[in-house]
Chain A
Amino acid sequence: MDRVILGDNQFFGINHMSEDKAQAQAERFQNLDAIIDVIDIAYDAGIRGFMFNTHARVADICDYFRSHPTRYADLRIYPSMPYAYKYANAVNESGLIGALNQFVFGGGSAGDAASTMVRGGLTVVKRDLMDVMRILIDLEMKMFRDLNVQAIFLQNIVTDLLLGFKQGDVLSAFNAHVRDRYGVDAAFNTMNLPALIELLEKTDVDNPLICSSVNQIGYLMSPNVASYEETLARANFRPMAMSILASGAIPVKDAVQYVVDAGVESIVFGASSRNHIVDTKTIIESAFHARDTGGRQQHARRASGLTRPVPIAAPLTVMDIPVHSVPKLDVLQYMEASIKDNHASQHICITNTESMYHALRRPDHHRYISDAAFSLCDGMGIVIAGRAGGKKIRRFNGPVLVEEATKFGLDREWRHFFCGGQEGVAESMRDSLSAKYPKMIIAGVYSPPFRDLTISEEREMIEIINSAKPDILWVGLGLLKQEAWITRLKGQLDVPWLIGVGAAFDYHAGTAKWAPTWVQKIGLEWLYRLFNEPRMLKRNAYSFAFMFKAIWHEFRNRKSD
């Protein structure tokens, strides 16, 4: 099957994000020549798979293909039927039965329908519905005669209508007719992938080809992203992705990586400029290639959303919250591999007792820690609680991670981006780090205002970060806020590593004082910081509350083992 397929929405003024864009496209593509130009660009770029709906104008495109057989010798077509508005308007004009009569007996023309019916004394009323469906399929397929058809798709509006009706039999009849009559696979478009797979599992439709929206923001994916990821991991069907950019809301590279990681086998995309077509094709092919040649298992598992990438050692737990106790070098080498690998965005969580205190109360924060590639221990509280449970936990806190990653990344040309901190703090951090490490590459700095960003500002910020192409995005917006920020924007940020390191910004910017080394060694930084910043008192109270609870919990569990 073609891994890259050019869709046709752009030719017919279909755009889910903007009616202005839809209008502009409708104007541009009103002549057949303009459509053929784009098809030629795609064809010459090596794309052979094309998906077409059954809009009346597609008949003209097909005529053109037939009249240039050598030019399009390798063309492979994936028809998607029916073009719903054609039928909807006919139903408005003639009623349901009138419209069916018109299509079934008149090939779409009312005059022909009347004469056929008069001649035959027939109306659709006497027909079996499955027969009617088969007649309609054959009518729609007429425009593709003599062309190389690869699979025939049932449009999502019909698939999903039948899905709601729970009519697996009809989907199965569609499948059977397409296989028998045309000798190709029947396929289904849907906006409800998990429910459709569940219904098809009860039918005789075997290993079906299913095209659905797949994107990390969940656009046109009912009921939600998580259930799509679970369904895609099941692999009892052949998944094809559409709407991967969510009408332009997601950068191409990240969108492609996401769907390839999710286990999709083929991608349909719409584009109308040469650059866009060639770039997208290249990105899709290289992502599939990377998946094929190694890392496949890891990617597939990661993308299933069920498990995290496997770090070097499984994490220990404190009160069932994961903490990775691994050598610093292992973390850095793992980061390096992911950066080289073009891996989809991952995050590292710097976990201390205060954040564990919140994790017990806030499922989103708990999930953030559990989903992290690494949950690194920050502070003595966790070490002590771990010891109570007989676990030896290594510390690797935020400020140290920044410094170590900076040093490790110098020769590897890692690109760092600092986002957050109070006004000016990110800039001071950049200045002091680059003074200390002149070779360090700082791809950018952004200090969002303390208030929530507007929708437009947020989109601009994402663009600023993505266009700086960082390898590591250091986020310092304060505990909870930075974690929520990373969770929400991870899918839209084209960055291998996202790391929330609140306090590290202050230490590296020089706005907070490092504790003397001997204080660090005996684990009393918190006390040092408390003396210097009395506002930490309440936060320390959370930490102690958690620590004593955790010590008791770990100790009891150890005894009961």
Chain B
Amino acid sequence: MTSPLRGLRGAIAGFGRMGMTHYSILNCHPDVEFVAICDPSSFIRNKVEQHLGIDTFGDHEEMIRESSLDFILIATPTGTHKDCALEAISNGVHTFMEKPLAVTPDDGATILRALSENPVVNQVGYVLRFNDIFLAIKEILTDNLLGDIISFKAEVRGPTILRDVKEGWRAKKSQGGGCLHDFASHAVDLICYLIGPPNRVSGSALQKIYSANVDDAVYSTMTYKSGTVGTLQANWSDASYRKPTYNLDILCKGGRIVADLHQFKIFFRDEPGSTKYRRGWNTVYVTDIAEPVRFYLRGYEFTRQLDYFIEQIRDAATENLSSFQDGYTTDRIIGMIAADADTQRESHG
């Protein structure tokens, strides 16, 4: 059992950009004490020991076994997620997994089985679930203020890859590289979170623009038993954007939502069942609704998701706003899109 009297002992697997971000955010959390970092790069390990003064390991198994951890943040390439997670879960270590959960739904299912035998607090880093705008939209949809969803359009674009990248895991499909897994997964998860997982995907295509080995753009149509239809477009090779940019447009019987990361507009056909909005168009800016966080790095939602994870450990919670089960659902839809894209390509000969 976790004693509330001492800091939670934490570790990070994979000290890349996300690993460093997570470390920085939780290192200054009053309830957390980081005790170990693992990374295959001796350069990174060397610098971590020199500057941060904590133990390092080249290998996650050794780190998990030797560090008596309360929790681990896994921010390694997606291809190694499964092994890391299984090791952590079997040692009773609460696990935060950078998204996506795994490369394939089968790997995800293996993780879920391990979790059912050995339950620990588990969370996937779908950070947009903690974004102020999307939290507000989730509330609107949960309260069913707009009625049945007719259709939606989810788009994400950014200038992440503008030339062929040959090195590193991002260039390898088997390691979880490519726009679908690495970039579009946020949008797929947002769809699952806000609207629910589609029953069927069709007309999918994965497109290479600059990359030789992985996809740079994703297109798919999603259909639901309820009759809802949606489309997804993701492109990480779009030089017209300064940074990754999300656009979500949801049409319902009772109105419409048009959102990006900074604002949303909501239209009510009739008098809304909430005092926060009025009939017709409403514009809500993030400055209207942003809830402050303890520490800010890269966005409110990054801190919010990690503080939430720590809180769930403290509360020994069994539910999670972004659980492995949710991560698995998203992986399953990603798998359906990839399979559909293969079928489409084959039918073209």
Any A CB within 8 A of the CB of B224: no
| B57 lies within 8 A of chain A by Cβ | no
User: Looking across the interface, which residue of chain B has its beta carbon closest to that of A124?
Assistant: B43
Contact residues in A for B245 (Cβ distance below 8 Å): 19
Interface residues of B in 34-50 (CB under 8 A from A): 41, 43-44, 47, 50
Q: Quick check: is B276 within 8 A (CB to CB) of the other chain? A: yes
* Range for the number of chain A residues in contact with chain B: 35 or more
Say yes or no for A518: interface residue by CB 8 A criterion. no
Q: Hey, which chain B residues are within 8 Å of A124, CB to CB?
A: 43
Would A91 and B263 count as touching, CB distance under 8 A?
no
Interface residues of B in 257-311 (CB under 8 A from A): 260-263, 275-278, 282-290, 292-298, 303
Point out the residue from B159, B165, B263 that lies within 8 Å of A18, measured CB to CB: B263
**Residues in chain A near residue B283, CB distance under 8 A:** 456
Question: In this assembly, does B243 line the interface, its C-beta being within 8 Å of a C-beta of chain A?
Answer: yes
Chain B residues numbered 1-59 whose CB sits less than 8 Å from any CB in chain A = 16-17, 20-21, 23-25, 27-28, 41, 43-44, 47, 50-52
Q: Is residue B160 within 8 Å, beta carbon to beta carbon, of the partner chain?
A: yes
Give the residues in chain B near A18, CB-CB below 8 Å. Answer: 262-263, 285
On whether the beta carbons of A452 and B276 are closer than 8 Å, the reply is: yes
Contact B167 A95 (CB under 8 A): yes
Question: A218 and B292: CB pair below 8 A?
Answer: yes
B 314-339 contacts with A by CB, 8 A: none
Interface majority SS (helix, strand, loop, mixed), chain A: helix
Stretch at the interface among A9-17, A303-311, A531-539: A9-17
Return the CB mask of A446-483 against B: 1 if under 8 Å, else 0.
00000111111101000000000000000000000000
Assuming A96-B17, A129-B51, is B242 touching A160 (CB within 8 A)? Answer: no
Which of A13, A91, A125, A457 contacts B242 (CB under 8 A)?
A13
Asked whether A408 is an interface residue with its Cβ less than 8 Å from the other chain, the reply is no
Assess the A92–B170 pair: CB atoms within 8 A. yes
Cβ contacts B41-79/A at 8 Å (1 or 0 each): 101100100111000000000000000000000000000
B24 proximity list for chain A (CB < 8 A): 160-165
> In whole Å, how far is A206's beta carbon from the nearest beta carbon of chain B?
23
List residues of chain A with CB within 8 A of the CB of B167.
Answer: 94-95, 98
* A247 lies within 8 A of B295 (CB): no
* Residues of A contacting B227 in the complex (Cβ-Cβ under 8 angstroms): none
Chain A 189-220 against B: per-residue CB contact (8 Å), 1 yes, 0 no? 00110010000000000000000000001111
Q: Cβ of A94 and Cβ of B285 under 8 Å apart?
A: no
- B163 part of interface (Cβ distance < 8 Å): yes
B288 touches A16 (CB 8 A): no
Q: Chain B's nearest CB lies how many Å from the CB of A481?
A: 14
Establish whether residues A19 and B260, one from each chain, have CB atoms under 8 Å apart when the complex forms: yes
Q: B288, A455: Cβ atoms under 8 Å? A: yes
Chain B facing A: main interface SS = loop
Check if B145 is an interface residue, CB within 8 A of chain A.
no
Evaluate contact between A455 and B282: CB separation under 8 angstroms: yes
Q: Provide the bound-state CA to CA distance between A494 and B94, in Å.
A: 49
| A455-B284 CB under 8 A given contacts A89-B159, A160-B297, A219-B290 | yes
Most buried by A among B23, B25, B161, B263: B263
Contact among B43, B165, B284 with A94 in the assembled complex (CB-CB below 8 Å) = B165
Instruction: Tell me if A221 counts as interface (CB < 8 A to partner B).
Output: yes
Asked whether any CB of chain B lies closer than 8 Å to the CB of A312, the reply is: no
Measured between beta carbons, the chain B residues less than 8 angstroms from A443 are none
Chain B residues with Cβ below 8 Å from A89 are 159-160, 162
For B349, list chain A residues within 8 Å (CB).
Answer: none
Enumerate chain B residues within 8 angstroms of A14, measured Cβ to Cβ: 242
A360 at the interface (CB under 8 A from B): no
Interface centre among B24, B44, B168, B296 (most CB of A within 10 A): B296
We find that the number of chain B residues with CB closer than 8 angstroms to chain A is 53
Which residues of B, 136-158, contact A by the 8 Å Cβ criterion? none
- Let me know if A26 is at the binding interface, CB within 8 A: yes
**Contact (Cβ within 8 A) A217 B287:** yes
Min C-beta distance of A404 to chain B, whole Å: 36
Question: Does the CB pair A456–B282 fall under 8 Å?
Answer: yes
- Chain A residues with Cβ below 8 Å from B292 are 218, 221-224
- Choose from B168, B242, B284 the contact partner of A95 (Cβ within 8 Å): B168
CA distance A166 to B17 in the complex (A): 17
Contact status A222-B294, CB under 8 Å: yes
Instruction: Please state if B28 and A163 are interface contacts (CB–CB under 8 Å).
Output: yes
Residues of A within 8 A of B289 (CB): 455
A410 on interface, CB distance cutoff 8 Å? no
Q: In the complex, are the beta carbons of B262 and A454 less than 8 A apart?
A: no
- Chain A, residues 59-102, CB within 8 Å of chain B (1/0): the string is 00000000000000000000000000100110111111110000
Q: How far is the CA of A113 from the CA of B101 in the complex (A)?
A: 35
- Contact in complex: A165, B275 (CB < 8 Å): no
Is the Cβ of A247 less than 8 Å from the Cβ of B287?
yes
Given A221-B292, A452-B276, A455-B284, is A157 in contact with B260 using a C-beta cutoff of 8 Å? no
Q: A253 to B24, alpha carbons, bound, how many Å?
A: 36
Docked pose: A167 CA to B288 CA in angstroms: 34
Q: Could you tell me the distance in whole angstroms from the C-beta of B252 to the nearest C-beta in chain A?
A: 18
Known: A94-B168, A163-B24, A454-B278. A17 touches B295 (CB 8 A): no
Say whether B27 contacts A164, CB under 8 Å. yes
The residues in A between 1 and 35 inclusive whose CB is less than 8 angstroms from any CB of B are 12-20, 22, 26
Query: Which residue of A has the minimal Cβ distance to B261?
Result: A19
Q: Which of A122-170 contact B (CB under 8 A)?
A: 124-125, 129, 157, 160-167, 169-170
Closest to B22 in A: A164
A249 within 8 A of B: yes
Closest chain A residue, CB of each to CB of B17: A91
Chain B neighbourhood of A157, CB < 8 A: 297-298
Q: Which 8 A-B pairs have the closest CB atoms?
A: A164-B24, A191-B296, A222-B296, A452-B275, A249-B287, A19-B260, A454-B278, A125-B43
- The 25 sampled A-B contact pairs (Cβ below 8 Å) are A12-B242, A14-B242, A18-B262, A19-B261, A88-B17, A93-B161, A93-B162, A94-B167, A96-B17, A124-B43, A129-B47, A129-B50, A160-B295, A160-B297, A165-B23, A169-B51, A192-B296, A222-B295, A247-B285, A249-B285, A454-B277, A454-B278, A455-B276, A455-B289, A459-B288
B interface residues, Cβ below 8 angstroms from A: 16-17, 20-21, 23-25, 27-28, 41, 43-44, 47, 50-52, 159-163, 165, 167-168, 170, 242-243, 245, 260-263, 275-278, 282-290, 292-298, 303
Chain A contacts to B: CB under 8 angstroms: 12-20, 22, 26, 85, 88-89, 91-98, 124-125, 129, 157, 160-167, 169-170, 191-192, 195, 217-224, 246-249, 451-457, 459
Extra inter-chain contacts (7) besides given A94-B168, A96-B41, CB under 8 Å = A17-B286, A85-B243, A91-B16, A195-B295, A223-B294, A454-B282, A457-B278
